[in-house]
Amino acid sequence: MKRTLTALAAMAVVSAAQGAVERIEVVERVPFAPGVTFGEYGAYEKIRGIAYYALDPRAAANASIVDLKRAPRDKQGRVLFSSEFVLLRPIGAQPTTLLYDVNNRGNIAILGQVNGRSPAYNDPTTAADAGDGFLMRHGFSLLFSAWTWDVAPSAPSAAGTPAPRPLVFAPPVAKGVKGKVQNEFTVNAPADIATYAGMRGLTYEPATPNDPHAQLTARARPDDKRRPIARSTWRFVEPELKGGPGRVQLEGGFQPDTIYELTYVAKDPYVTGAGLAGIRDLLSWFRDHPFENAPAPRNVLMFGISQSGRVIGRMLHDGLNVDEGGKLAFSGAYLQVPGAGGSAGFNSRFAQPTRHPSMMEEHDYPADAFPFTSAPARDPATGVTASTLDKARDKQGNLPKLIVANTSTEFWNRGASLIATTPDGERDVAPADNVRIYGFMGAQHYVGRSSKRAPFTACVSTSDHYLPMRALIVALDDWTVNGKQPPASAYPQLADGTLTTVADYRAIFPKGFGLTPPAQNLREPRLDVGRNFAVPPKHGDDYETRVPTPDADGNDKGGVRLVELQAPLGTHTGWNLRAPDTGFAWATSRFDGSFVPFARTEAERVAAGDPRPSLEERYANRDAYVAAVRAAAERQVVAGLLLAEDVERTLKENVGLYDSILARDSADQSCNYLYTQ
């Protein structure tokens, strides 16, 4: 089924000035999760389509898009492109909140974390793909579209199974532009051949195939001097998959514990900022138009996880949340685990959106830069005072309402403290009135499910921050539609001693139970790429970052007290050290925290020399632990950080882990017991 929708004739006349979506083409319309109804919202449908855009490089709303004026234009001076989209919505013609999920490296993310099930083949179709139906039962229409180009192809599907359907953007190209591109990579085990693109991504390939002037270097740490590797000892090899990232082969092989970097001249950079403008304009179109026999939505929200949350941060920083007509494209946004916020990636020449710095790698790739805070703050190094929202107001002066949530891991590995402190880490900066900040303490970047320690030294953190996420999504909708205030911000701060230096953290952290804190966290790089996006960029003094203060159990203070920390079964940290055999033993995992359970009995605790009180001392019996979990969950419900419908799930998860710890063979050092329930 294909049909094309155009705006009203009157709107079409002014489309170049006030709207960039020229037309919408519907290519598929089918039931979603056939046979399933989602509470009062009933059955859902899936609509797959293509949006066609025309951006005016002369419009003030597009002035921040890097290299847009260098892209090819039509006879009217507009830059043309398109993107695929997928819409899930109730079949009944009723107004709903349109929730746009910024896909992560081409993949739909929100269904996996919020509904509990990632859609098979990235193509939401079946009842299983709906997970527990949370977002549908709460009446959200879900919109996904292509916004980035650097999505590596997947391996061929097994016979008889559908091919994955990532959402991949084909941006405009700045033809004739050349520049240096650097590609940093590591290996976890010795290898003769390595891929040099970023995580699950693509990169710009050399302008000259098998470039004889390309340079390969090696170093042990990010700030070490690069050691050139003779060009005669390595060569380019074909991608493993057609259309996949390039690879290099080195005589003697690549080794762990080494950062390799491949640099060469590339050409014809993509106008990556057009992908962000495409999101803006697709939302603006849906905001104002009835679509396929349904009214325009009552509300428009954005949601992004990790990379996708940073996309929203960059849109706000560049004013790309305000359309060509001067209106907000969305009334609210939820940025989940964006670290320092994402004010520097996704809109620069030769941008590689998949790359971002962590403690160990990619310190030359812009992902975050001053300003970091939603309220104005002064950068002592430059004397400039600014905020992330300086360009985000509509023509009436309105700002979208924002929720920003990080876990403990982002404080260690992604500079999360900077969104609420001065750049020197010396003073707190309270969020703007339209912003709420939350820190999910004891949680890691995603909810862990690994039953192995490798490639790290500890079992991963078991805490579940997806449940408060569900409550906050509903709260954001209530805030933007009804004006109901969401829970007060809750995050570690300097003033109350819940945010501190790494040195203090190490001094306070309990000793003698198998975890030794890292010597450093990520100190966010201060980069200067200049007007011509120099490679490598100039480095200034790093921004100062802080970490949550631990308590006597090693659990982080401040922030949102997850049930797992209110009724603890062990120590949950935001960091997990790399295993020595994978290299970089001084560094932390990019995304994972740690969990070490308390001893079960006092005798077991004394024998092990564990300073933390045992489970036996904390909870008289299983019933006492169940009561503690239920009381903690009910406190979270009152605080607006847990929905009543999720209390039983919280009990099941935590009591299941309690039972697994008690049943565990104390000699078993594996992590298998964590996920038996």
Tell whether 140 and 249 lie within a shared domain: no
Contact status, residue 249 vs residue 192, Cβ threshold 8 Å: yes
Type of residue numbered 620: A
Share in percent of the chain as helix, strand, coil (round to 5) = 25, 25, 55
Tell whether 97 and 68 lie within a shared domain: yes
- Cα–Cα distance between 149 and 400 in angstroms, integer? 27
Tell whether 70 and 182 lie within a shared domain: no
Phi first, then psi: give them for residue 343, nearest 5 degrees.
-85, 5
Q: What pLDDT shows up at residue 10?
A: 30
Cβ neighbour number for residue 525 with a 10 Å cutoff? 24
Please count the CA atoms within 13 angstroms of the CA of 298 that sit on its side-chain side: 12
Question: What's the mean pLDDT in 39-63?
Answer: 97
Q: What pLDDT shows up at residue 17?
A: 35
- In this predicted structure, the answer to whether residue 277 has a pLDDT above a threshold of 60 is yes
Would residue 597 count as lying in a domain?
no
Would residue 227 count as lying in a domain?
yes
Boundary-marking domain end, from 267, 294, 322:
267
- Cα–Cα distance between 483 and 478 in angstroms, integer? 6
- In this predicted structure, the answer to whether residue 629 has a pLDDT above a threshold of 80 is yes
Q: What pLDDT shows up at residue 18?
A: 45
Q: Output 674 or 484, whichever has higher pLDDT.
A: 484
Tell whether 71 and 197 lie within a shared domain: no
Tell whether 184 and 238 lie within a shared domain: yes
- Cα–Cα distance between 569 and 460 in angstroms, integer? 14
DSSP-assigned letters across all residues of 62-92? GTTSTTGGGS---TTS-EEEEEEEEEEEESS
DSSP-assigned letters across all residues of 312-342? HHHHHHHTTTB-TTS-BS-SEEEEES-TT--
Q: What pLDDT shows up at residue 19?
A: 61
Tell whether 253 and 276 lie within a shared domain: no
pTM of the model: 0.96
Tell whether 128 and 260 lie within a shared domain: no
Could you read off the pLDDT of 315-353 as tens digits, one per residue?
999 999 999 999 999 999 999 999 999 999 999 999 999
Type of residue numbered 617: E
- Cα–Cα distance between 246 and 205 in angstroms, integer? 7
DSSP-assigned letters across all residues of 420-477? GB-TTSSSB-PPPTTEEEEEETT--SS-------TTBSSPPP----HHHHHHHHHHHH
Q: What pLDDT shows up at residue 78?
A: 97
Q: What pLDDT shows up at residue 92?
A: 84
Confidence of residue 115 (pLDDT cuts 50, 70, 90): very high
What DSSP designation does 487 have?
Answer: P
Could you read off the pLDDT of 394-410 as tens digits, one per residue?
999 999 999 999 999 99
Domain assignment of residue 213, given as a range: 178-267
Q: What pLDDT shows up at residue 531?
A: 83
Q: How far is residue 310 CA from its own chain's centroid?
A: 6
- In this predicted structure, the answer to whether residue 15 has a pLDDT above a threshold of 60 is no
Could you read off the pLDDT of 504-560 as tens digits, one per residue?
999 999 999 999 999 999 999 999 998 888 899 999 999 999 999 999 999 999 999
Query: Nearest to residue 151, comparing CAs of 194, 180, 108?
Result: 108
Crossing angle of helices 273-288 and 307-318, rounded to 10°:
80
Boundary-marking domain end, from 206, 238, 267:
267
Q: What pLDDT shows up at residue 9?
A: 31
Would residue 240 count as lying in a domain?
yes
- In this predicted structure, the answer to whether residue 214 has a pLDDT above a threshold of 80 is yes
Percentage of the chain beyond pLDDT 70 is 97
Could you read off the pLDDT of 448-484 as tens digits, one per residue?
888 899 999 999 999 999 999 999 999 999 999 999 9
Would residue 669 count as lying in a domain?
no
Q: Output 7 or 441, whichever has higher pLDDT.
A: 441
Could you read off the pLDDT of 293-323 as tens digits, one per residue?
999 999 999 999 999 999 999 999 999 999 9
Q: What pLDDT shows up at residue 358?
A: 95
Tell whether 257 and 126 lie within a shared domain: no
Tell whether 127 and 255 lie within a shared domain: no
Could you read off the pLDDT of 132-189 as tens digits, one per residue?
999 999 999 999 999 999 999 988 888 888 989 999 999 999 999 999 999 999 999 9
548: tokens are: 């949550």
User: Which value, in Å, is the radius of gyration of the alpha carbons in the chain?
Assistant: 25
Could you read off the pLDDT of 90-104 as tens digits, one per residue?
998 888 999 999 999
Overall domain count for the chain: 2
Tell whether 127 and 211 lie within a shared domain: no
Tell whether 146 and 199 lie within a shared domain: no
SS3 231: helix
What DSSP designation does 598 have?
Answer: P
Confidence of residue 607 (pLDDT cuts 50, 70, 90): very high
Would residue 322 count as lying in a domain?
no
Q: What pLDDT shows up at residue 14?
A: 34
Tell whether 275 and 148 lie within a shared domain: yes
Contact status, residue 100 vs residue 302, Cβ threshold 8 Å: yes
Q: What pLDDT shows up at residue 3?
A: 67
Would residue 237 count as lying in a domain?
yes
Would residue 18 count as lying in a domain?
yes
- Cα–Cα distance between 335 and 351 in angstroms, integer? 21
Would residue 480 count as lying in a domain?
no
